[in-house]
Each structure stands twice: as C-alpha cells, then as structure tokens.
Chains A and B, each alone.
Chain A
Amino acid sequence: MAKNNQGNGKKSKWIMRIILLIATVIFVYPLVWNIIASFKSNEEILDSPWALPTALRFDNFIRAFTEASMGEYILNSFLVTALSMVILLILVVPTAHVLARFDFKGRRFLHNFYMAGLFIQPVYIMIPLFLMMNNLEMLDNRLWLSVVYAAGALPFSVYLLTGFMRSIPKEYEESAAIDGCGYFRTLLTIIAPLAKPGILTVVIFNFFTFWNEYALALVLLSSDEKKTIPVGLANLMEVQRFATDWGALFAGLVLVLIPTVTLYALTQKKLTEGMSMGGLKG
C-alpha cells in the first residue's frame, strides 16, 4: 500500500510515527511515573507529577519491606506461582499428549469440554468455590489455592499444548515403540523434551496469570502472612487513603513489577509469537 503513492509515503509515514509515539508515551508513562515516584518523599509526590526526586531515596523500599510486609507477600506469590505451575504441568502434559495422539471414544467431547471452560471467569465461581472449600477445610491454604489456579488454567493450556503436540512428527514415537519403549517412557523421555517450546509458552503465559491473580486469592486466603502480593498491594492502597505513606505504596508497586518486567524482557518475542501460533486467551 505504500508502493502506489511514493510521494505521500514519506509524509504518511511521519504522521504514523507521530501517532505511534504519542501512543507510546501513553502506554509507558504510568510505569515511568511509578518508578520516579517510588524514590520521592511524600511532599515531593504531592508537589508535582513532573518533577524528578531531589535525591535517590531507598527508604520507601525499606519501609515497603519492614512496615508493609511486602517481602512476605512476594515470597507467598513466588510459592503459589511455582506450586501452581508444577501442578498445572503435571495435569496438562499427559492430557494434551493423549488428546493430540490417541483416538478414543469421547476424545472430541473431552476437548470441547475443556474449550467451554475458556469462558468461565474465576470471578463467576469465587462464591461457590469459597463455600465448597470452606466445607472441605481447604481455605486459607496456599497449596489448595495453587490447585485452584492450575485447574483454572487448564482450558487455555490444554488448547495451546494440544495444538503444539499435534505438530510433532509421529516418527519419533513410532521408532520408540519399535524399540519396545512403553507409553509412559515415550511420553517422558521423547515427547516431553520435543514439546519443550510449547510447554515453555504455557509456562510464560500462566506465570503472568498466576503472579497477577487477585479475586480468588482475596477470597480463598484470609490470614495476613499467607497473602499474595496483589492482595497485599490492594490492602495497602485501601490503607493509604487514610495513612498517606504513598512512597511505600509506589515502592511496593515497583517490587511486584520487577519479576513481570524481567520475564517480559526475556520472553516478549516468544510471547508475541505464541499468540501468532493461534494462542487465544480470555
């Protein structure tokens, strides 16, 4: 489309650039402001959103750890995220393998069953989940929260991984079967390593989901020392309305962003390519 009007091409390119640059500022500004504000004193924050801090103050971060227990929340978040991921992989890899490779009665149904799950938002079911887990005494338990996270992540992960595993050439398994390799050994020693890129995509996508999840963590965990960081931050926000220690709040926001931004920086190419493979997520 740029070819037929070379003369206008240059001009329209610059108009586009200006629009995209304005958009870039809008997308990036909140983050930059956040980082700047995390080094400011309360007076400086109130003073002007443009100004830079007069000195690099790390005491906001120290207070975030000592007074707002951000350290505990972060550890809890890492624990829950890691547990959820392990459980999810144990659950999803065998199912995706079987759905991709074997023909059996009910295969289509099972596949559609998980796909229907794509439309279930966690917020819909938080009340019955709370009541059921209350009856089973599973509340306020980080392990069971992780199981819930893993279960909730199944539809999307089954979808993604089944698609990927179908694309693995069958010859590898066939030659393994001739060598007398059993089904489980084949899955563990041949399929799983071959499916690594697909598994990695599942891990990256779900890291963000688990690390950021708020609604279920809010309802299913109650004691303060077990809370994950989104819940901790939302509480802190609630408290800040009256206590006004904004510096510590902004420092907390920066802390929760560090793992997210790091992972994004490392994987953004894979992430955006994962979406082009047809990975849709609700």
Chain B
Amino acid sequence: MKKDNRQKGFILLCILPTLIIFSIFIVYPVTQVFFKSLFSSSGFGSGDEYVGFANFIELFKDDVFLKSLKNTGFLMLVVPVITLLLSLIFASMLSFGELKEKHLYRTIFFFPSILSFVVIGILWAFIYHPNMGIVNEIMTAIGLDQFALTWLGNKNTVLWAIALVMVWQAVGYYMVMYLAGMDSIPKELYEAASIDGATGFQQFIKITIPMLWEIIRITIIFSINGVLNISFVLVTVMTSGGPNNSSQVALTYMYQQAFVNANFGYAMAIAVVVFVIAIILAFISNKLTEQETE
C-alpha cells in the first residue's frame, strides 16, 4: 500500500510540471486562437467586443485574404506532390541502385532540411536575383536570355519560384524517411517478382509503393502541414508578399493584420481558417489513400 502511494507520487511529479508548462504555452494559446477569433480585438484587453462570426464574414469579402488563401492552397497542393514524388524517385534510386556512393548522396540531399528557413530564403532570393543571380546567368549562357525574368518580382512566376525552394528544402528529408522504409522491405519479394519477369518499374508500383504505403500516408500529412510554417518564413524574407500581394500567403497576411494593423481578432480568424483547412486536407488525403490499400 505504501509502495503504491510512493509510486503515484513519483508518477505525478514526473508528469505534472511538464503538462503544466505544455498547457500554458501551447494548449492555452491554441484555445485562445479559436476563442478570440470571435472578438473584435485590438489585442490589449480593453475594448474587446464580442462580434460572433463577423470576422469570418469580413474575411471572405477581403480580396487580399482570398488571394492569400488561394496562394496557400496552391502551395499546399503543389509542394507536397512534387516533393514526395521526387523523394520517392531518389530514394528508390539509392535503395536499389547499388551505388557505392549511396551514403554520400544521402548526406548531401538531407542537408537542406537542417538549414534555417531564413538562410534558405536569403540565399534563394539571390539565386533568383535578376542581375546577379545564377538562374538568369545560366539562361543567358545557353541562349535563353529572352526568358530571363525578375523571378520574384513577376506575379506569374513568384509563387512557383517559392514553391521550388520549398521542394529543394524538403526532398532530402522525406527521401531519408522512404529510404529507411525501402531498406526494410524483404529482398525476396523483388527476387520472386523478377523471376516472374516483372520490370523494375512494375516492381516499384507493385511492391515498393504498397510496402511503403503507411509511411507515404504520414509524409503526405506532414508535408501539407509543414508548408504553412516554411511559407511564412520564405515569403517574409524573400518577397514580403509582393509584388502586389501575389505571393501573400495566409499566415503572412495574418501576421500583418496582427502586428502592423493591430487587428488581433481578425488575425486569429485567419489562423482558424488556415487551421481548419489544414485539418480538412489531412483528413481528405487520409481518406483518399485509405481506399487504395483495399
């Protein structure tokens, strides 16, 4: 009996401080995002007024917000698709290629995922730079100078330019994850398949993809979610949302509403919308990928 109480005390003492800190600094702010989105708030307590869903109604009449939402949606679709496809291709090359320098490639490809987003944003802003950037320099060198552009200053190219940086940053990360999964697939499966005359591509579709399916499902959700964070930093550093809001994403607009215009309630309504969309996308991708395994 006495031992039981001592054990209970120990468990509580181990759990509680952590739980309290987590609740104050993470859980409580999350609840506040939802709660405060119903208020017209200048942020500092005084003059907070309950306005129901007025912030949300206002949001969907706000052209800049709608544009930023469209841009966020674009990135949430395009970036995960390209990233995960490339990651799968590279991973299978490394896993089945039997190259001696496999580990070297793994180390190099993973490298961008440990870099600060700020550093990545600054470096790529200079790579895309119209006069001193390598992109235009290469195009001039191979005679395509009429296509050289102000990549980040052109409303037609700016989002793709940012999307490519996000792909560059994340490919190696997911590749390493797939690589771990691929290396644990029993080799006999492939041997049996090749005796039956299956080509490399058929083996990839029929064996590799199904065996990795659970990992792929998780990475889809993680990469959709990851887009939100990195897009905030990259857009802030590279374009500040320009030109003329054509690279504005929902979270940079949220930041501006809060810390430039002091529209805190409105800003939190933006956070709620983005949060709900991220959850819905995760749910949809989860449902879609579920069917394919049946």
What residues of chain B lie closer than 8 Å to A49, measured between beta carbons? 132-134, 137
CB of A50 within 8 A of CB of B10, answer: no
A127 touches B17 (CB 8 A): no
Q: Which of B213-260 contact A (CB under 8 A)?
A: 218, 222, 225-226, 228-229, 232-233, 236-237, 251, 254-255, 258-259
**Given known A-B contacts A50-B137, A121-B228, A20 and B105 have beta carbons under 8 A apart:** yes
Docked CA distance A122–B259 (Å): 16
Q: Out of B97, B132, B225, B236, which one reaches A46, CB within 8 Å?
A: B132
Query: Quick one: which of A2, A120, A182 contacts B96, CB cutoff 8 A?
Result: A2
Knowing A24-B105, A272-B110, the reply to whether A132 touches B117 (Cβ < 8 A) is no
Whether A282 and B106, one on each chain, are in contact in the complex, defined by CB atoms closer than 8 angstroms, is: no
**A97 on interface, CB distance cutoff 8 Å:** yes
Interface check B93, CB cutoff 8 A: yes
Segment from A60-68, A165-173, A195-203, A209-217 that makes contact with B: A209-217
Of A1, A125, A187, which is within 8 A of B203 by CB? Answer: A1
> B60 on the interface (CB 8 Å rule)?
no
CA A102 – CA B267 in complex, angstroms? 43
Answer whether residue B26 sits at the interface, using C-beta atoms and an 8 A cutoff.
yes
Q: Which residues of B (49-103) have their CB < 8 Å from a CB of A?
A: 90, 93-94, 96-99
Interface residues of chain A: helix, strand, loop or mixed (majority) = helix
- Given the complex of chains A and B, what is the CA–CA distance between A84 and B126 in angstroms? 32
CB distance from A88 to the nearest CB of B (A): 10
The chain A residue sitting closest to B109, CB to CB, is: A27
Interface residues of A in 35-52 (CB under 8 A from B): 37, 45-46, 48-50
CB distance from A115 to the nearest CB of B (A): 12
Across the interface, A120 reaches (CB within 8 A) one of B11, B30, B36, namely B30
User: A242 contacts the other chain (Cβ, under 8 Å)?
Assistant: no
Given contacts A268-B107, A268-B110, contact A256 B116 (CB under 8 A): yes
Q: Does A147 touch B at the CB level, under 8 Å?
A: yes
**Identity of the chain A residue whose Cβ is nearest the Cβ of B203 in the assembled complex:** A1
Is the CB–CB distance between A124 and B275 below 8 Å?
yes
State the CA gap A110–B15 with chains docked (Å): 9
State the Cβ distance, A113 to closest chain B Cβ, in Å.
Answer: 8
A98 within 8 A of B: yes
CA distance A212 to B121 in the complex (A): 12
CB of A56 within 8 Å of the partner chain: no
Query: In the bound complex, how far is the Cα of B279 from the Cα of A119, in angstroms?
Result: 9
* A75 in contact (CB, < 8 A): no
B176 touches A (CB below 8 Å): yes
Distance (Å) between the CB of A56 and the closest chain B CB? Answer: 20
**Binary flags per residue of B261-279, CB closer than 8 Å to A gives 1, else 0:** 0001001100100110011
A58 at the interface (CB under 8 A from B): no
Whether A271 contacts B110 by the Cβ 8 Å rule is: yes
Which residues of chain A come closer than 8 Å to B267, judged between CB atoms?
127
Among B17, B22, B44, find the residue whose CB has the most chain A CB atoms closer than 10 A. Answer: B22
Least CB separation from A240: chain B residue: B122
Report how many residues on chain B are interfacial, defined by Cβ distance under 8 Å: 97
Nearest chain B CB to A35's CB is how many angstroms away? Answer: 11
Q: A132-B29, A151-B21, A214-B117 are in contact. Are A27 and B177 (CB under 8 A)?
A: no
What is the minimal beta-carbon distance from B129 to any residue of chain A, in angstroms?
9
In the assembled complex, B288 has its CB within 8 A of some CB on chain A:
no
Q: Would you give the shortest CB distance from A187 to chain B, in whole angstroms?
A: 8
- Are B11 and A147 in touch, CB under 8 angstroms? no
- Per the bound structure, the CA–CA distance linking A280 and B28 in Å amounts to 25
Query: Which of A23, A33, A268 is most buried by chain B, counting CB atoms within 10 A of its CB?
Result: A23
Residues of chain B within 8 A of A19, CB atoms compared: 93
Q: Is A69 an interface residue (CB 8 A)?
A: no
Could you say which residues of chain B place their CB within 8 Å of the CB of A127? 33, 254, 258, 264, 267-268, 271
Contact of A16 among B93, B195, B255 (CB under 8 A): B93
A127-B268, A214-B118, A219-B259 known; A23 vs B109 contact (CB < 8 Å): yes
Which of chain B's residues has its CB closest to A232's CB?
A: B118
**Which of A94, A182, A212 lies in contact with B14, CB distance below 8 A?**
A94
* Shortest beta-carbon distance from A29 to chain B in Å: 7
Q: List 29 A-B contacts (CB under 8 A).
A: A2-B96, A3-B191, A24-B109, A28-B108, A30-B123, A30-B124, A33-B134, A48-B137, A95-B15, A110-B19, A114-B22, A117-B22, A124-B274, A127-B268, A128-B28, A131-B36, A131-B264, A147-B21, A151-B25, A154-B21, A214-B233, A219-B259, A233-B119, A234-B118, A246-B126, A260-B115, A280-B218, A280-B222, A282-B225
Binding site for A on B (CB under 8 A): 6-8, 10-11, 13-15, 17-19, 21-22, 24-30, 32-33, 36, 43-45, 90, 93-94, 96-99, 105-112, 114-127, 131-134, 137, 168, 172, 176-177, 179-180, 183, 190-191, 194-195, 200, 203, 218, 222, 225-226, 228-229, 232-233, 236-237, 251, 254-255, 258-259, 264, 267-268, 271, 274-275, 278-279, 282
